[in-house]
């Protein structure tokens, strides 16, 4: 464990070390780097150096307060701080859910000099926003604002319901209740203001960022994802990035790394071997 600073923000980082090609795992909302616990052993077992970190405002990283920004340019600056602080090169970036935004924005703004490959797992790109310009999106302004208000008013109740949907497919919970409660415990570490502001960031447009991607790319997504539907996210990302590999997990909810761990890890390890 270590801390890497980006200005006044301290990021909690865990690094397995070793000489293997590095993999940086970027967690989803509202969790922390600890949410990758079922995947890290599979990657280290395949010889990789694995790095996880907690997004600002979440887990054990700094909680900057109500004046802080949680837009993706800011969040990607934190990812850049991790890569440069550890001097990681030839790295594979794996972004789950919200973490896919950092992967896309990093490649779109920093380029791929340090990057070997990219993985979008149940990830939000290209663009979840629903408006007149994007009538087939998933989240309109009213829905985003409603979620923000509901979370601010009742954080524990909102997160309890959200994480049930997170791990459910076709109305059925796909993990154990203990696993769901472990995720709730991670979510409870988040600063409520940070969590609220990040909901707005979900509807940023990553289309232009994806258009810059030339590194080998894997898109892995559940076909029953009720948080980030496959049809408006992973499927479109795979279509947009030339040569991208799409793997769809049958009966997979949003939290596929915990619900379908064996399949998720196998596909990820096989891809990273390229």
- What is the rounded CA–CA span in Å between residue 200 and residue 193? 11
Peptide bond between residue 30 and the one before it cis (omega within 30 degrees of 0): yes
User: Of 254, 258, 259, 260, which is the active-site residue?
Assistant: 254
Q: What is the DSSP string of the chain?
A: -EEEEETTEEEEEEE--SSSPEEEEE--TT--GGGGTTTHHHHHHTT-EEEEEPPTTSTTS----TT---SHHHHHHHHHHHHHHTT--SEEEEEETTHHHHHHHHHHHT-STTEEEEEEES---S--B-SSS-TT-SB-HHHHHHHHHHHHH-HHHHHHHHHHHHTEETTEE-S-HHHHHHHHHHHTTS-HHHHHHHHHHTT---HHHHTT--S-EEEEEETT-SSS-GGGTHHHHHHHSTT-EEEEETT--S-HHHHSHHHHHHHHHHHHT-
pLDDT for the residue 66: 82
Query: Alpha carbon 246 to chain centroid distance?
Result: 17
97 among known catalytic residues: yes
Which residue is associated with the tokens 């395949």? 46
Measure CA of the first residue to CA of the last residue in the chain; give whole Å: 28
pTM: 0.98
pLDDT for the residue 67: 83
225 among known catalytic residues: yes
Which of 251, 245, 254, 179 minimizes the C-alpha distance to 213? 245
- What is the rounded CA–CA span in Å between residue 5 and residue 19? 24
Indicate the pairing of strand 172-173 with strand 245-249: unpaired
Show the low-confidence residues of the chain (pLDDT under 50). none
Q: For domain 2-272, give the CATH number.
A: 3.40.50.1820
User: Of 32, 92, 97, 168, which is the active-site residue?
Assistant: 97
pLDDT for the residue 1: 81
- What is the rounded CA–CA span in Å between residue 90 and residue 259? 29
User: Of 54, 191, 209, 225, which is the active-site residue?
Assistant: 225
**pLDDT tens track for 86-117:** 999 999 999 999 999 999 999 999 999 999 99
Per-domain residue ranges of the chain = 2-272
User: Is 33 in contact with 52 (CB distance < 8 Å)?
Assistant: yes
pLDDT for the residue 19: 94
């Amino acid at each position: 464990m270590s801390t890497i600073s980006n200005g006044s923000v301290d990021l909690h980082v865990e690094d397995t070390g070793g000489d293997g090609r590095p993999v940086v795992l970027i967690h989803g909302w509202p969790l922390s780097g600890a949410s990758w616990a079922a995947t890290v052993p599979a990657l280290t077992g395949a010889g990789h150096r694995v790095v996880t970190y907690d997004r600002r405002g979440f887990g054990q990283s700094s909680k900057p307060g109500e004046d802080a920004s949680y837009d993706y340019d800011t969040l990607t600056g934190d990812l850049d701080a991790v890569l440069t602080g550890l001097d990681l090169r030839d790295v594979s970036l794996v972004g789950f859910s919200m973490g896919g935004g950092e992967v896309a924005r990093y490649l779109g703004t920093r380029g791929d000099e340090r990057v070997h490959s990219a993985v979008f797992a149940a990830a939000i790109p290209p663009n979840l926003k629903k408006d007149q310009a994007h009538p087939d999106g998933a989240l309109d302004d009213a829905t985003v604002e409603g979620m923000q208000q509901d979370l601010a008013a009742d954080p524990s109740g909102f997160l309890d319901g959200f994480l049930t949907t997170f791990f459910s497919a076709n109305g059925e919970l796909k993990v154990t209740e203990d696993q769901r409660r472990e995720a709730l415990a991670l979510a409870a570490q988040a600063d409520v203001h940070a969590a609220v502001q990040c909901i707005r960031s979900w509807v940023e447009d990553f289309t232009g960022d994806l258009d810059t991607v030339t590194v080998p790319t894997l898109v892995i997504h559940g076909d029953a994802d009720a948080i980030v539907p496959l049809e408006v996210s992973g499927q479109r990302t795979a279509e947009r990035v030339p040569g991208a590999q799409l793997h769809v997990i049958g009966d997979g909810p949003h939290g596929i790394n915990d619900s379908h761990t064996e399949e998720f890890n196998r596909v990820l390890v096989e891809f990273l071997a390229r």
